[in-house]
Structure 1
C-alpha cells in the first residue's frame, strides 16, 4: 500500500509546522534539554548497544531529525567521533540546521545513518534518496519507524506526523535491491514502545 502523506498548502507551510513542535523556546525543546535529556540518552544507549561492532568500524554517523542531539551524544560516547545531527531547528554543536529532503553533505560521505523521524517527512521517496546518496558503500542505515496498522491512526497520535506508514516493506522497497535488510522487527524498547526497527546495509 502506498505511504499516505499529509496535505499542506505549501512546502513552507510544512516546514513551519514541523519547526513548531520543538522550536527554540517551546516547552518541548526546553524539556528535551533538561528532564528528557538523560532518559533519552539511556534509551539510545540501549538501542545502539547491539550495533557496537558495526559502530566500531564507523568514522562518522549522520542522525536525521535529531532534535537536541541525544543520539549524536551517545554515538560520540560510543567512539563515533564524527557523529553529527541535523534538524530544522539546530542545537549546535551536536545538531546543525538542515532539511532531510535536501541534505547539505557530499555523496558517499557517511558510514552510518540513523533516523527516527520517518513519519515527519513529507516526501518519503526524496528522504530515502538522500540517505542513499550520502551513504558510503557498505554503510549501515538504522531507521526507527512508526508503523500504523490498516485503518489505524498514527500510533503516537502525533499531530506533526506528515505521513502514515502501514508496513515497513514500503520503506524497504524505496531503498531497492542494493540494500540488504539485516533487521525488520518491533523495537521492543520501553522508552519508544511503538517503534519498528529497520536495519539495512548498502552494497559495496
Structure 2
C-alpha cells in the first residue's frame, strides 16, 4: 500500500514541479546555450531498480566531452570542467530538476538512493546491492545528512537504512529536509541526521 502511495506522490509532485518551474527551465536552457557550446541536457546511463539501466536527465553543467576527459573522476568544488552557469546550477540543485521526467516515467522516485555510475556496480557486495531494491531518487537520506562530507561507505549505509526502513513518513521528512538543504546549504545539516544508523529507531527532528 505504501509503495502505491509513494508512486502517487511521485506523479503529483513531479507534475507540480514541472509546471511551477517551467519558466526556470526556459531561463536555464537559454543560459546554458549562450554560455557554452553543447546540448542543454546531459543524459547518462545509470542502473535503476534491480539493475535496470535507464538514461538519467540533468541540465548540462560541464563543458562538452568533460565526462570523457577523466573517466569516472568525481566533480570537485572548483572543477574547471564545470561551466560558469553550471556551478550555480549544481550549488542550487537546479541541474537535477529534469529528473522529474525520470520520475514520471517510473524510472526514478522523488526519494531513494541516488543513482550511481554503472561502473560502480562492480564494487557492490550483497549488502550494498540492497540499495538497488528500490527506485533511485532525486534526493535521498544521505543527501540530507551532510552528503558532501560523507564517505562512499557512509552514504551506502544511509541508502541501505532507507531501503530497510522505508515509510511514507520518512519520505516526507527527507523531502522537507531537502528543501532546507537547497535553501541553507548542506553545512547546516552535518551531524543532524534524520535517523540513527546504529539503532532501529528513527531519529532527529527536521
TM-score (norm 1): 0.30
- Normalized per residue, the structure richer in strand is 1
TM-score (norm 2): 0.30
Please tell me whether Structure 1 or Structure 2 has the larger radius of gyration of its CA atoms: 2
